[in-house]
Amino acid sequence: MKHIMKQWQLMLIAVLCVVTVTASCSDDDPAQPGENLEQTLESVSTDWGCSETDITNHMHGYVLKSHSGNSYVFENPETQQYISYTFTNGALSASAVIFPAVSAEQLRSMLKGSCSYIGECEGAGVYAKKADNLMITLWQEADEDGEYSAIGYTPISSELYETVEPIGVETGNPANIFAFRAEIPVVVHGIDKECEVGVVYGMNPDLPDGESRVSKTTSSQSNLSFTIKGLIGEETYYYRSYILVDKVKYYGEVKQFIAAPMTYSFDGREFRFVKVEGGPYGTFSIMQTEVDPCEIMTIGGTTMSEPLVGNSNPEQLTSYELRKFIGTVDEITGLYMRLPTSEEWQFAFVGGSMSRGYEYSGSDNIGDVAWYSGNSEGNAHPLGLKGSNELGLYDMSGNYSEMTCEAGVEELKINKYGTFAQVKPDAAYGGNSESGASSCKKSSHTSQPMVRDITSPKYNTIRLVVNHHPNAMMRE
């Protein structure tokens, strides 16, 4: 991979010459590219080093539209397609074709033979065809109005200018994969100054801007390591490294890995987030247990500084403490966590698509799966001591009532997350340690559990969820 700035400058001159000419021509709408475009592309000379006279003779059938200094612009009057040539010391050094605008897919289809993608420069894609000594650049919008597209050509190496040190970036395999994060090594070649280096990653193999996240830094080092966050457990992630040098972005190979399960722990006992497919708003993961309101949680390798209930009054859980807790979890994991809606909570209660139709969550015998008025002695118990339901979730019936939130449902429908930590719980489901058996079923709930933004942590707590969608990753 070569440093392309000299070639880029020559190619840009060639394209700008054509754009200037087209802007001064007819005000009519540009013609469609048509079938003659392929013939026009075949007419472009890339005989590097040939003379201006050679090019003039080569362009038989075209009209010389402009000649300024070292640049020539020829027009096909029937198709409104233009070919430009730039010369250095009288020798051909760059060519360009400009034509009525086409889609990005159509533009890429015009690349013939084996071309390797180098990167991008100021919105243009740069490719190399080493067998023919060609660097090819694609502009989907070559003019301000977006009416024209362009393809530019220069030699990869030439006696006309100095070829500098190769520049490149290598995407390494993950060194470590942890819950919610992974460490990615990157190796940079051919730089002697500080440049932007980073890793782009996401769940879409094409890594589009709107669905991807970037971890980056500025460095002159050759060996770097990046920690990428916000990984949803057991999903496949795609990633590639890049380096930005003199406005040219060089990319490494796209690679992939499977994210580790999302885990957390209370009092040294580890639990996990459970994937629930077929949910009312798409696939989501939900905590295997309730949050113990008075125990400190460790998540993503980080032990939180305080439990859900703060130190000011252990007998009360405030909406401020609830928002603060969820916000801290978001920062640690890099994901937008939230309270489940009542539909999601009930879907998980019955075991999702694996449901066997039990009366309580995981059994028809409440004593097998719940701490309730008949066996709790009036107190909540440590998490996960009773049997689980079909999904492996504990304590959905009894122990603590679990708060849900309906606000934001419209945002859920359009995969918009990030605002749910700010909303007030609407209900608390599943019954608690003082509830009778009839109050520990799927639809059992109390409305408005936080009166004046306060609830009792003896009876109510939360169980967080996260959607399996790219938008669930927090943006930097």
Can you give the pLDDT at residue 330?
95
Q: What digits encode the pLDDT tens for the residues 112-148? A: 777 888 777 767 788 888 888 888 888 877 666 667 8
Range 201-214 average pLDDT: 93
Q: What digits encode the pLDDT tens for the residues 337-363? A: 999 999 999 999 999 999 999 999 999
Range 452-464 average pLDDT: 95
State which amino acid sits at residue 20. T
Q: What digits encode the pLDDT tens for the residues 384-420? A: 999 999 999 999 999 999 999 988 888 888 888 876 6
- Stated pTM of the model: 0.74
Q: Strand locations in 140-222, DSSP E?
A: 148-155, 168-171, 176-178, 181-189, 195-202, 212-219
C-alpha–C-alpha distance, residues 359 and 370, integer Å:
12
C-alpha–C-alpha distance, residues 54 and 77, integer Å:
22
Q: Burial letters for 443-465: b for 16+ Cβ neighbours within 10 Å, e otherwise?
A: ebbbeebbeeeebbbbbbbbbbb
Can you give the pLDDT at residue 219?
94
C-alpha–C-alpha distance, residues 146 and 438, integer Å:
66
Ranking 22-36, 44-58, 101-115 by mean pLDDT, the lowest is 22-36
Ranking 10-24, 40-54, 297-311, 418-432 by mean pLDDT, the lowest is 10-24
> CA nearest 102: which of 38, 16, 23?
38
Ranking 24-33, 34-43, 200-209, 227-236 by mean pLDDT, the lowest is 24-33
CA Rg value for the chain: 31
Can you give the pLDDT at residue 181?
97
Can you give the pLDDT at residue 35?
52
